DNA sequence: GCCAACGTTGGC
DNA sequence: GCCAACGTTGGC
């Protein structure tokens, strides 16, 4: 089983929105970056665990945990001219963008702020914390995932 | 709102 | 294939 982190802007879609979704499940549409797409399309498997990260928030941080419940399939929002992430180069015959379904596992009572993550020694090499890191779907080491859950428990979240 | 870092586009 | 210009991300 692999571990991942996926970013979302809570003004657009937050962990609370996931909690209020039918079956607490959603399709992760709108990813328009090839590296992030490849992780979803090629490597994310049912049962993988996902840290849900709130970006462009105050504070930014990890807001909960979800699990993959459907492996990748074409992101149909790319075909919708009215969608913010419309891409004329993606078609039903030749889809360019893919998504997975995730289901909420655990919503933290508060986000674990980015600044606190930076204080945790075992997260020193985490992709999220690298300068200039923008990848919206990224692999997480098991030890990093464990350390973050441990921090959530320590905080009683 | 600012701006550094990054990814993509497109002319050559 | 190079690289300048541009658009986006995301912390602050």
Spatial distance between the Cα atoms of A45 and A81, rounded to a whole number of angstroms: 30
What is the four-CA torsion angle of A99, A100, A105, A110, rounded to 10 degrees?
-10
Give the pLDDT confidence score for residue A94 in this predicted structure: 86
Return the nearest residue to B4, CA–C1'.
A132
Residues by Cβ under 7 A, strand B? A 33-35, 131-135
Give the pLDDT confidence score for residue A92 in this predicted structure: 87
Give the pLDDT confidence score for residue A80 in this predicted structure: 86
The string of pLDDT tens digits covering residues A110-133 is 999 999 999 999 999 999 999 999
Give the pLDDT confidence score for residue A74 in this predicted structure: 96
Give the pLDDT confidence score for residue A3 in this predicted structure: 98
Strands A49-54 and A98-113, how do they pair? Answer: unpaired
Contact flag, residue A130 CB and nucleic strand C, below 7 A: no
Q: Is the pTM here over 0.85, yes or no?
A: yes
Superfamily of domain A3-141: ph1033 like domains (3.10.590.10)
CA–C1' A102–B10 (A): 37
pLDDT along chain A (157 residues), means of 10: 97 96 96 95 97 96 97 93 86 91 97 96 95 94 97 94
Give the pLDDT confidence score for residue A14 in this predicted structure: 96
Nearest nucleotide from residue A131 CA, by C1' atom: B5
Nearest nucleotide from residue A87 CA, by C1' atom: B8
Give the pLDDT confidence score for residue A129 in this predicted structure: 96
CA–C1' A127–C3 (A): 27
Nearest nucleotide from residue A132 CA, by C1' atom: B5
Give the pLDDT confidence score for residue A123 in this predicted structure: 96
Joined together, the tokens standing for residue A26 give: 């959603």
Give the pLDDT confidence score for residue A83 in this predicted structure: 84
Give the pLDDT confidence score for residue A140 in this predicted structure: 97
Give the pLDDT confidence score for residue A18 in this predicted structure: 97
Q: What residues have CB less than 8 Å from A54, skipping those under 6 apart?
A: A7, A8, A9, A10, A14, A15, A60, A61, A62, A63, A111
- Cβ(A54)–Cβ(A15) below 8 Å: yes
Spatial distance between the Cα atoms of A20 and A10, rounded to a whole number of angstroms: 13
CA–C1' A132–C4 (A): 21
Domain boundaries, chain A: 3-141
């Amino acid at each position: 089983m692999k571990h991942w982190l996926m970013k979302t802007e809570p003004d657009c879609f937050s962990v609370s929105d996931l909690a209020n979704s039918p079956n607490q499940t959603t399709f992760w549409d709108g990813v328009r970056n090839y590296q992030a797409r490849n992780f979803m399309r090629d490597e994310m498997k049912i049962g993988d665990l996902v840290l849900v990260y709130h970006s462009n928030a105050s504070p930014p941080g990890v807001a909960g945990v979800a699990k993959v419940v459907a492996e990748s399939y074409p992101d149909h929002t790319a075909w919708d001219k009215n969608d913010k992430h419309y891409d004329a180069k993606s078609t039903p015959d030749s889809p360019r963008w893919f998504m997975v379904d995730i289901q909420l596992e655990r919503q933290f009572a508060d986000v674990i702020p980015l600044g606190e993550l930076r204080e945790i020694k075992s997260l020193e090499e985490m992709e999220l914390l690298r300068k200039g890191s923008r990848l919206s779907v990224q692999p997480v080491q098991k030890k990093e995932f464990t350390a973050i859950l441990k921090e959530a428990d320590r905080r009683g979240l």
